Each structure stands twice: as structure tokens, then as C-alpha cells.
């Protein structure tokens, strides 16, 4: 069952679903979703001399990713073909009986802006800001302003609460993330023998 605006407001009032700061409830809570705003921090992928990205080599991240902060009121220009990681302003806490889906706003989609590549799932139990995978599929640069509503969350109620929700007990690698986070795929158990156990990414989030 997908939650309606009334369901979302009830869950927010109960406190088991958390979205904060929710600056304007009337504007952000839609009929079956909640609009989230763009944060100020971005991770930009640089063109470098490395032959390729090795997902399992965490030490390489600093060679091809740089962080940029854009104050509210200023603009981040997303050029055609560019891919950057952004973040939501809001921090969310998803209860164990809900799963949240990260979606793009249609008004930005009509400008060829995509807000996630694959990580469109916030698992039950996820806490933190949501990393956005921003791409410009169009032919003209688009100015993105921190504070603008850039994505939306829909919520689906599970048939039963998750037995093993996202979090520290299952070694979820993006729990409580603050700002955009680069890939941590190198900590997956098939690469390092660890016990990551995630099934999703937590929020724009892969756990």
C-alpha cells in the first residue's frame, strides 16, 4: 500500500517516520509523496589520468572526486553529460515497516535532469540524508539552486516489518550519512570478506 498525504502526515505526527527539517508542510507534502530540497554539497567527478575507476579501491576516490559547496542563493551549473552526487537538505528516518522510493520531480525531468541512476530505494531502518545521483541528459546547461525542491519520496507499507532493517547490525555502509557520499562498494563482502549484508542503498541510498 502506498501512503497518501493523510497517511504520511499521520506517520510524521506519530514520530516513527522522520523528515527534518520539513520547512513547508503544505508545499512539500504532495498527494502521495513528500518533496525534498537540494542541499549545498556536491561531489564532482573529475577527468583524470587514471586509466579507469576500480570500484574496489577506496584509496582512488580522492583522485577523481572533489567536493564543492554552493551556498543557498547561488547556483550549481550541471552541464550536458555531467554526473555529480548531490544531497537532500532533509534527513530522513524510515521505520521498519516502510520502504521509501526516491523519485525525480517531473518539472526537472522535463529539463532532462535525472536525480538517480539506480539508487532509488531507501530501505526500512535507514537514517540520514539522501545522496542524489544527478545527471543532465539534455543539450543545455541547467542551473540548480540549493534549497529548491529537487526530488520526492513515496512510501510503501510492507506486509510485515523487516526482520533485519538497514543499520549497524547488518553493517550497512551508508547509515547516518551526512552530505553526498561516494561509492563504498569496496566494502562489500564479496570484495573484502566483510559482513555488509545490504540489499539496497539506503537512500539514493544503497545500504
State the pTM of this model. 0.84
Angstrom distance (rounded) from CA 143 to CA 139: 13
Q: Which CATH class is domain 5-182?
A: mainly beta
Sequence-ordered list of residues with C-beta below 8 angstroms from that of 13, at least 6 positions apart, any chain: none
The pLDDT of residue 196 is 42
Q: How confident is the prediction for the chain on average, in pLDDT?
A: 86
Q: Is 157 a catalytic residue?
A: no
Sequence-ordered list of residues with C-beta below 8 angstroms from that of 165, at least 6 positions apart, any chain: 96, 123, 124, 125, 126
The one catalytic residue among 20, 72, 103, 133: 133
The pLDDT of residue 194 is 44
C-alpha closest to that of 207 among 174, 178, 164, 163 = 174
* Tens digit of each residue's pLDDT (9 = 90 or more) over 155-206: 999 999 999 998 877 777 788 888 887 777 777 777 654 444 444 455 555 4
- Look-up of cell digits 532509488: 120
Angstrom distance (rounded) from CA 91 to CA 20: 5
- Binding-site entries for dCTP: 105-110, 123, 131-133, 152, 166, 173, 177
- Binding-site entries: 105-110, 123, 131-133, 152, 166, 173, 177
Amino acid at each position: 500500500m502506498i501512503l497518501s498525504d493523510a497517511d504520511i502526515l499521520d506517520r510524521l505526527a506519530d514520530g516513527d517516520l522522520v523528515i527534518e527539517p520539513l520547512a513547508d508542510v503544505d508545499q512539500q507534502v504532495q498527494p502521495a509523496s513528500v518533496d525534498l530540497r537540494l542541499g549545498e554539497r556536491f561531489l564532482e567527478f573529475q577527468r583524470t589520468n587514471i586509466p579507469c575507476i576500480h570500484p574496489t579501491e577506496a584509496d582512488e576516490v580522492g583522485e577523481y572526486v572533489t567536493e564543492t559547496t554552493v551556498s543557498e542563493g547561488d547556483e550549481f551549473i550541471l552541464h550536458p553529460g555531467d554526473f555529480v552526487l548531490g544531497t537532500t537538505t532533509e534527513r530522513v528516518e524510515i521505520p521498519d515497516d516502510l520502504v521509501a522510493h526516491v523519485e525525480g520531480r517531473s518539472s526537472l525531468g522535463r529539463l532532462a535532469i535525472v536525480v538517480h541512476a539506480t539508487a532509488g530505494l531507501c530501505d526500512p531502518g535507514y537514517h540520514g540524508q539522501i545522496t542524489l545521483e544527478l545527471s543532465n541528459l539534455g543539450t543545455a546547461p541547467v542551473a540548480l539552486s540549493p534549497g529548491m525542491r529537487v526530488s520526492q519520496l513515496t512510501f510503501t507499507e510492507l506486509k510485515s516489518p523487516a526482520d533485519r532493517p538497514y543499520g549497524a547490525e547488518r553493517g550497512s555502509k551508508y547509515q547516518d550519512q551526512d552530505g553526498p557520499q561516494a561509492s563504498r562498494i569496496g566494502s562489500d563482502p564479496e570484495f573484502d570478506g566483510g559482513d555488509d549484508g545490504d540489499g539496497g542503498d539506503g537512500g539514493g541510498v544503497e545500504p
